[in-house]
Amino acid sequence: MPSELVAFQNPFLTPPMSAIFRKNAPDALGLSGGAYPSPSSLPPLSLPDSPASNRPRRRPYHFSTQCATVDNPDEKDQYGSSSVPIYQTATFKGLDGKFDYTRSGNPTRSHLQHHLAKIYSAQHAFTVSSGMAALDVITRLLKAGDEVIAGDDLYGGTNRLLTYLKEHNGVTVHHVDTTNPDLIVPLVQPGKTAMVLLESPTNPLLKIADLELICNYVHRIAPDALVVVDNTMMSPYLQRPLELGADIVYDSGTKYLSGHHDLMAGVVCCNRGDIGKQIGFIINAVGNALSPFDSFLLLRGIKTLAIRMDRQQRSAMAVATFLDTHGFKVHYPGLQNHPGKGIHDRLANGPGAVLSFVTGDKALSERIVGATRLWGISVSFGAVNSLISMPCAMSHASIDPAVRAARGLPEDLIRLCVGIEDPQDLIDDLENAIMEAGVTLPSIMPSIVEPFSPIRGEPWAPPPLIFAPQPVLEERRKPTHPHWFISAPGKVILFGEHAVVHGVTAIGASVDLRCYALASHREDGYISLHLPDLNDWYHEWLIDELPWDSVTPTRIGEDHGPTLDPRLMDAINNRALPKSVNEERFARAKAAVTAFLYIYMILRPDTKAKPSFRFTTRSTLPIGAGLGSSASYSACVAAVNLIFAKRTTLTEPVRRRLNSEATISYTIKHDGRRAIPTEVADEVNKWAFVAEKVMHGNPSGVDNTVSVHGGAIAYKRAVNGSKGGMDGLHGFRSVKFLLTDSQVPRDTKKLVANVATRLKDDPNRGADVLDAIQAISIEGFRALSDPEIPRETLLAGLSKLIKQNHAFLKELGASHISLEEICELTDEFGLCTKLTGAGGGGCAVTLIPDDFYDDSLRILMDKLVEAGYQPYLTTVGGSGLGVYPVTGDPTPEEKEQLHRDFVGQPRMGLAKWAEEQGGWLYV
C-alpha cells in the first residue's frame, strides 16, 4: 500500500551486509573497543549508489562523498534533475502510484530518508517536524507502567517531555549520571525497563557515556529494552550509535544536519524492522512527517555536513584550548584533560563543535556573554554561525532551578557553539568580551598558524596552535582602565526650530558627527583639559589649588538643583579660569572650560574623591554651527566626570542586556553595539544638561538628550501653562542628510528676538505660521515613526515638509543669504533643504533620497565647497553616547603616544580612527 512508504527502507543494507559494519560487541567489561574507524576508513554503508554500483571492487566512498552524493536508484527523477525537486503537493493522482498523500509519503522526503539511512548506517530512516517531534514519536512506543532510564544532563526539552510522560502517562523515569554505567545497571530490570535514553556527549556539560558498553549491558540484562540515543551533538559524521548497538538513534535535524538554522527537523533511524514499522505507523497516524520544502532544505544541508563539521570542530578545539590555557574550567572532549576523552575517542570520530566553560561567577558569565559581538546570543547549535548562551537562562531554563542544582548544572555555565567563521576572529572576540567583562587575561594570544583548509576525511587531529610560554591565568582582578574614550553625537533640528520657543513641537535627531573625548588617569594630583579644535587650548590645574571651599558636594544619587550654584560659578570665574581664556581666540573655549570645571568640582561626593586625569576632546562636528557641538561636548564631560568620580555603573564593565529593547526609549538606530543601560544614560544626561546650563544659561535640554540617547525626539516647551515635555520617537528610520555649514557666524539670541518681534507685529499671520509649523512637526513625527509607510514615500514626504518648513522660517526672518544660496544649489539637483537651528547662517540640512546618485552627490558637494561652504554627509538618527574603556597597563610613553595620536588625527579621519581603537559600547 502506498501509505506504508513513510520510511525509507534501504534495499542495499541486507542483514549480512550490515553485519560487517558493526564492531564486535565489547565483552562484559567493555574493554575490547579499539580505535574506531575514521570517516575516511569507513567501509561503504551501501554499495555505491552511483552508476559504478555494478563495479563493487571500486574503493568505497568516503563519508563526505556520501554526504554530497544524493542518489536513489529506486527513484530516478523523470527529467534527471541534479537536485531533488520539491514535490510541493499534498496529494498524488492515480490508484496504483507509489505515493498518494504527502502525510504518508512524498518523493522529496523519500529521497531525504534514503540519504539519511545511507549516512546513518541504518535500514530505516524517518524525518519529522523537529527533534522533539522525533522523541515524541519514539516515546509513543512506551506504555503506562514502563520504566525509562535517562541521563541527568539532558537537553531541557527532552527533560520536559519525560516529565510530562511521568506525570500524565504513568511512565517511571529514572535520571542517572550516565557517565557511570555502574549507576545504570542496578536500574535495568527485565520486563520493566522499556527504554534507556542516552546523549553522548551530553548537552551542555559534554559528559561522555560509553554508549557501546551501556548497549551491551542493557541488552544482556533486559533484551526487550530499547536503547535510544540522541545523537544531535555529534551528527552521523562523527558518531553512528546504531553501529555501537543502539536500537534507535534520533537527531535534531535543526542542528548540524541542516547547518544553517533555517529549518526545524527531526530524524529517527533504526535497523529493526518491527521498530521501523511502528515508528512509520505513528508518524503517519499523528501526521508530523517533514514537509516537502523542509525535506529539500535538509537534504541540501546534509551535502555539506562533513566539510562544515571539520571546520567547526577544528575551530572549537582552538577555542577550547584558548580558554583552557587561560585557566577556565572547560568541558570539551577534545581536550586531553576531559575525563571521558578516552571513551569518546573510541566511540566517535571527533569531539564536535560544542563546548562549555564556567567562570565562577554568574554575573561575570552574563557580562561575557553580553560583551561578545561575533558570537550570537542564541539557543540551539550546529549552524555555520557561532553562538553563545547561558544554558540555565536559555535552553535549560525549563528545568527547575533546584533540579538543575541537584544535577550539577552550574548557573555560571557558558555554552559555545562554534561555527565556520575564522577561528582567530572568534578567539579575538571572546578574549575582548572576557576582558571587557572584568577579567584580566595574560597576554598569550594564540596564533593560529594553520590556514584551516578543508580536510579530506583524515582522522581528527587538534589544530596546531602556538601559544606564548606563559601558561595559566595568574590572577582574576578588575581591569584597570588607564584610558576612556567617550563620544557623543551632535543633533539637527529637523522641524520646528524657532517655533519651539512659542510652544510648537520641534523634532531633534542625532547626527553621526560627534564629539570625541579621551581621558587618562594621572597620578600627579593634576587635572588637565586640552581642546585641540578650539585653537589648541590647554591648561592643567593642581587639583588641591582649585577653589574647593566654594563647592557644596553632591552626594551619590543626589541630583543637581534647578539653578547653577552661583558661589561655585563665581569661584571658577575668579579663581580657577586661567587668564588665557580671556583671549579673543579662546572665546569659545571659555564656556567649555567653565563647564568642565563646574561638573568636575560639583560631582565631588566627598573630600577624598578628587580624581586626577587628563581630558582631551576633539570634534568632528563643526563647532558653533548649530549642530549641538556644545551638547555633545557636555555629554562627554558629564560621562567622563561620572566615571572618574566613580558615580556611575560605567566604572563597572557595562554590559549588553538581553531583551533591553523595550527599556530604551529614545534610541532607534545603532551602527554600534547597544550596551549602555538607560539608567546610566539618564544619569549622564542629567549632568550633561547641567554642563549645557553652564555654557548656555537656559537650554531646552533637547540637544543633550539627543546627544546622550541618540535617535530622535519630539520636544515641546511648556508655554503659558501648556504642557511641555519630550517624547522618544520610536521606530525612527535613519535618513541620509547633507549638512552644509554656511560658515556664517550668527547670534542666536538676536535671531530669536527678531522672530518674536515679527510674530508680535503681525499676530494673525504669526499664529498661522506657528500652526503650520506645528502641523509640519506632527506630520514629520508621525511619518518618521510609522513603519508602514514605504521608504520612498516617507523620503518624498519628508522632502516636501522640509521645503515648507524652510519657507516659513524664511518668512519669520530666520534665513540668510548664504542659506538661500545653499537652498538654490541643492534645488538644482532636485533636493530639498532647510535651515536648522537658529538660522541666520549656521547650517542647512538637505535630505538625500536613497536612490540619489553618488556621482551627483559628489558634484553637488564640490559646488557647495566652491561657493565657500562646508558640506558633511551624515546619517540622522544614529547611536547616542558611546564609551570605550581601554583595558591594560600602558607605560607613560604609551599613554602619551595615544593622546598624541588622538590629537593628531585629521578631523575627517577621527571617527574611523576612534572606531578602530576597540569595542565601543553605545546607548
- Smaller CB separation from ligand PLP, 265 or 712: 265
Binding region for ligand PLP (CB under 6 A) out of 6-14, 117-125, 225-233, 846-854: 225-233
**E strand or H helix at 527:** strand 526-531
Helices (H), 437-582: 566-571
**E strand or H helix at 526:** strand 526-531
Locus of grid cell 574647593: 548
- Smaller CB separation from ligand PLP, 230 or 741: 230
Helices (H), 251-291: 273-286
Closest CB 141 distance from ligand PLP, rounded Å: 17
- Smaller CB separation from ligand PLP, 66 or 203: 203
Closest CB 48 distance from ligand PLP, rounded Å: 31
Closest CB 485 distance from ligand PLP, rounded Å: 39
Contact by Cβ (8 Å): 12, 47: yes
Question: Which residue number has the CB closest to ligand PLP?
Answer: 131
Sign of CA dihedral 361, 366, 367, 368: positive
Candidate list 23, 71, 103, 863, residue with the active-site label: 103
- Smaller CB separation from ligand PLP, 130 or 887: 130
C-alpha cell read off for 27? 565483552
The answer to the question of residue 389 lying near ligand PLP (CB under 6 A) is: no
Between CA 680 and CA 795 the distance in angstroms is: 34
Binding pattern to ligand PLP, positions 357-386, x when CB under 6 A?
A: -----------------------x------
Biggest alpha carbon–alpha carbon distance for the chain: 106
- Smaller CB separation from ligand PLP, 266 or 446: 266
The answer to the question of residue 232 lying near ligand PLP (CB under 6 A) is: yes
Is residue 155 annotated as a catalytic residue, yes or no? Answer: yes
Torsion of the alpha carbons at 323, 328, 334 and 339, rounded to the nearest 10: 170
Closest CB 109 distance from ligand PLP, rounded Å: 16
Candidate list 109, 118, 255, 346, residue with the active-site label: 255
Binding region for ligand PLP (CB under 6 A) out of 229-237, 307-315, 832-840, 900-908: 229-237
Contact by Cβ (8 Å): 141, 278: yes
The answer to the question of residue 880 lying near ligand PLP (CB under 6 A) is: no
- Smaller CB separation from ligand PLP, 207 or 806: 207
Closest CB 284 distance from ligand PLP, rounded Å: 20
Closest CB 349 distance from ligand PLP, rounded Å: 18
Among 2, 37, 85, 157, binds ligand PLP (CB under 6 A): 157
Candidate list 146, 230, 345, 533, residue with the active-site label: 230
Positions in 110-139 near ligand PLP (CB under 6 A): 130-132
The answer to the question of residue 208 lying near ligand PLP (CB under 6 A) is: no
The answer to the question of residue 159 lying near ligand PLP (CB under 6 A) is: no
- Smaller CB separation from ligand PLP, 132 or 348: 132
- Smaller CB separation from ligand PLP, 233 or 388: 233
Binding pattern to ligand PLP, positions 474-513, x when CB under 6 A?
A: ----------------------------------------
Q: Of 852, 833, 858, nearest to 843 (Cα)?
A: 833
Is residue 255 annotated as a catalytic residue, yes or no? Answer: yes
Contact by Cβ (8 Å): 509, 491: yes
Contact by Cβ (8 Å): 922, 882: yes
Candidate list 36, 87, 155, 869, residue with the active-site label: 155
Positions in 249-308 near ligand PLP (CB under 6 A): 252, 254, 264, 266
Contact by Cβ (8 Å): 356, 205: yes
Contact by Cβ (8 Å): 110, 84: no
Helices (H), 560-628: 566-571, 587-602
Q: Of 492, 497, 491, nearest to 515 (Cα)?
A: 491
Between CA 533 and CA 629 the distance in angstroms is: 12
Is residue 565 annotated as a catalytic residue, yes or no? Answer: no
Locus of grid cell 556573554: 369
Q: Of 525, 533, 651, 543, nearest to 597 (Cα)?
A: 543
Q: How many CB atoms lie within 10 A of CB 78?
A: 7
From residue 169, how far is each of 137, 140, 670, 817 by CA, in Å?
A: 14, 10, 50, 84
Contact by Cβ (8 Å): 303, 411: no
The answer to the question of residue 155 lying near ligand PLP (CB under 6 A) is: yes
- Smaller CB separation from ligand PLP, 147 or 199: 199
How many residues make contact with ligand PLP (CB under 6 A)? 15
Is residue 256 annotated as a catalytic residue, yes or no? Answer: no
Closest CB 207 distance from ligand PLP, rounded Å: 13
Q: Of 250, 188, 251, 174, nearest to 216 (Cα)?
A: 188
Q: Of 56, 38, 57, 37, nearest to 47 (Cα)?
A: 56
Residues marked active site are found at 103, 155, 230, 255
Could you list the residues that contact ligand PLP (CB under 6 A)?
A: 130-132, 155, 157, 199, 203, 230, 232-233, 252, 254, 264, 266, 380
